[in-house]
Structure 1
Amino acid sequence: MTNSLAGHTNTYHTYSHDEALEGIAAAGFTNVELSAVPGWTEHVDLDADKGELRRKLDGYGLNPVSLSAHSDLTTSDGLEHGIKGVRWAGEYGIPIVNTAVGGHQSADENEAAFLGNINALADEAEKAGVVIGLEIHGDIMASGAVTLPLLEKIGRDNVKINYDTANVVYYSGDSAVEDIPKVVDEIVHVHLKDTTGGKGNWDFGAIGSGVVDFAEVLRILEAAGYRGPYSVELEFSGEPWPPLAEVNAAMKRSYEHLRGLGLQ
């Protein structure tokens, strides 16, 4: 497989950006998904010097393939952050910006408010040469199947899906293997995340430790011609996060498991 395999710095939610990059690189990854999510994982300062970040990533041997810039796109503040994220990514040279309808919390999402804002974000993304990946996350995008009507309402070629293999279970109870074929042509980015299963069960450990059939997920995507990034995201049992050594070990196990399935 020729897809990029990245480590997501959100895996190191309560740790520093340097600790995240060091752990991701030590696990074997050469690509990274950066995180700039207000109120959650703020590893990247969108106002800081990009040159310093480039030097840091080069030092760890990591290439950024996507930016996680989740914000509540039903609000004006969320739209402002989203626009800032796509402009930043365009200037940096990162082709994909991931976000979600209602940001990290995604509670009581207002679809009408989201639809009133998404075109402005898509316009800015188009100018920046960036594609938006809306994550399977929350109520409105609980699965790929329920996301299709939303994409039709949006009607923009540069607004696609960031498919999360565990979120689909958490928010809808459906499995990735059954759901992905319904939206495979709309997927621009994939979060590889495992779960012990069950709707509403927040338990996202190392890849290979749960119920997600990653071999079949990869087979389906490969057969459909998917060539976008795969990004490993581990969120464990939420806060408090595990000790750093455990996070590092889980990322290493995840990388090795996926290498065994043909990713690199």
Structure 2
Amino acid sequence: MKIGVFLLIEPFASVEVQLQRAKSMGFDCADITDTNSGGSMLATAGFSPTVSLDDNPFEVKRLFEQYGIQPSTVCAHAGLLEPSNPATYATAEIMKAIRFAAAIGIRDVVTTDMDPKSTWAKNLSYAEQVFVVAEKLVAPVAMAADYGVRVLLEPHGPVTGSIRGLQDVMDRLGSPESLGINLDTGNAWLGGADPVEMATVLKDKIHHVHWKDLDEQWESKRGTVFGCGFSTIALGDGVIDIKGVCDVLKNRDIKSSTLEIIGDEDMLRRSVEYLHECGVKSSATAPAPV
């Protein structure tokens, strides 16, 4: 399992600057972390690390190759619980992400439901939530199968944040091979699930991992918040049983994983070393001490 990094290392910087930083720290794979349809004003000005899904994917691939970094997934996190709206990132963008990924040989596109924001979404029953999420994914999952791509659900919302929710959405869609899971250790724990149990129950569908650890200050928010974006501590320094997850997944055929950690190079280095100690094999070197 390769250990990569999220390309949000340098604030207000382009994808190329993020790649430069990742390469300098010894990483050789990374997620295409932020994506958008059309053009982005800030990205055009070089102040945002977003990739346009309407760009030529081969140009993006060449940019990654320039720094010796392999793109591991395309992130397409969506508002799957929200009413359908051209202004809301959802089905259309996920389908664009699938085409983008397939064109340059990326196997996995990661998406999720996220916290409901509208009154309509907040008032959905559990059964309605599952239906709404599944309905928005019917066409993307079918397209992914044709393109040889997988759509991976990440724990990041009231449905995906539980083992039951992930299972119910997958069952509603018929559990095809083109649908799997990206286990986010921090989000799963924060949403109230046990990441080790989630890994154990769903291990056959887990194809990528986002590594986060959280400190005890998050305990009071557990079960009420479904995603935190990043960890601010090194793996092994918090309350999440990262080693337990590693024990379940370390012998699975999972090609890559990603550190979702905001911090200095030493924090990232210690996180890589901790995963190595937990038995996660990686071809990448840990970032050099600073």
CA contact (8 A) 1:165 1:191 kept: yes
For the residues of structure 2 that align with 1:106 and 1:162, how far apart are their CA atoms? 20
Query: What letter is aligned with 2:188?
Result: V
CA contact (8 A) 2:14 2:49 kept: no
For the residues of structure 2 that align with 1:34 and 1:58, how far apart are their CA atoms? 13
Q: In the alignment, which residue of structure 2 is the partner of 1:46?
A: 53
The range that moved more, 155-164 or 195-204, is 195-204
Match of 1:222 among 250, 262, 267: 250
For the residues of structure 2 that align with 1:8 and 1:21, how far apart are their CA atoms? 10
Query: What letter is aligned with 2:259?
Result: V
- Specify the SS of the correspondent of 2:4: strand
Is residue 111 of structure 1 aligned with residue 130 of structure 2? Answer: yes
Any residues of structure 2 matched to 1:180-191 within 5 Å, and which?
A: 180-191=199-210
CA contact (8 A) 1:111 1:140 kept: yes
What is the Cα deviation at residue 213 of structure 1? 2.6
- Long gaps (5+) in structure 2: 41-47, 283-290
CA contact (8 A) 2:101 2:107 kept: yes
Distance 1:44 1:85, change over 3 A: same
Distance 1:146 1:115, change over 3 A: closer
What is the Cα deviation at residue 170 of structure 1? 1.2
CA contact (8 A) 2:9 2:21 kept: no
Distance 1:42 1:113, change over 3 A: farther
What is the Cα deviation at residue 248 of structure 1? 4.1
For the residues of structure 1 that align with 2:91 and 2:275, how far apart are their CA atoms? 35
Superimposed CA distance per residue, residues 190-239 of structure 1 (whole angstroms, 9 cap, x where no aligned partner): 1111111421495722323322232221111135x3424211112x5xxx
For the residues of structure 2 that align with 1:157 and 1:13, how far apart are their CA atoms? 37
Q: In the alignment, which residue of structure 2 is the partner of 1:93?
A: 105
Q: In the alignment, which residue of structure 2 is the partner of 1:19?
A: 17
Q: In the alignment, which residue of structure 2 is the partner of 1:242?
A: none
Distance 1:106 1:228, change over 3 A: farther
Any residues of structure 2 matched to 1:150-229 within 5 Å, and which?
A: 150-155=169-174, 156-172=176-192, 174-197=193-216, 198=219, 199=222, 200=225, 202=228, 204-205=231-232, 206-223=234-251, 225-229=252-256
Query: What letter is aligned with 1:255?
Result: V
RMSD of equivalent CA atoms = 2.6
What is the Cα deviation at residue 13 of structure 1? 6.5
Distance 1:212 1:23, change over 3 A: farther
Query: What letter is aligned with 1:56?
Result: L
- Specify the SS of the correspondent of 1:98: strand
- Specify the SS of the correspondent of 1:61: coil
For the residues of structure 1 that align with 2:180 and 2:97, how far apart are their CA atoms? 16
What is the Cα deviation at residue 9 of structure 1? 1.6
What is the Cα deviation at residue 127 of structure 1? 1.9
Query: Higher Cα Rg: structure 1 or 2?
Result: 2
For the residues of structure 1 that align with 2:235 and 2:116, how far apart are their CA atoms? 24
Superimposed CA distance per residue, residues 72-131 of structure 1 (whole angstroms, 9 cap, x where no aligned partner): 2343541110100001101111000000024xx454374322222211011211122100
Query: What letter is aligned with 1:31?
Result: C
- Long gaps (5+) in structure 1: 237-245
May I ask how many residue pairs the two structures share in their alignment?
A: 248
CA contact (8 A) 1:9 1:32 kept: yes
What is the Cα deviation at residue 14 of structure 1? 4.5
Match of 2:148 among 129, 139, 152: 129
What is the Cα deviation at residue 247 of structure 1? 4.3
